[in-house]
Structure 1
């Protein structure tokens, strides 16, 4: 996702979801923002198929 223009988004997460996302990102050697962006893109793509 580097090199692309971005917009800042601020939102609150359940503490357990935040922790799990951070752990997942670390295990994947990724930034948490990259994991969240990928998950959101996949979710939106899935929702568009209905």
Structure 2
């Protein structure tokens, strides 16, 4: 459970990756989709 909570916290912190001004729209979308996908996988694992 502790490992799962740590991984969720890591994914939440990734939102700061989206604040880099040099990223293209495609890169922003890829990072966003990756974060959402991993959060969903972790949420399913928690249930």
What is the TM-score when the length of structure 2 is the normalising length?
0.47
Greater relative contact order (CA < 8 Å, ≥ 6 in sequence):
2
What is the TM-score when the length of structure 1 is the normalising length?
0.45
More helix by share: 2
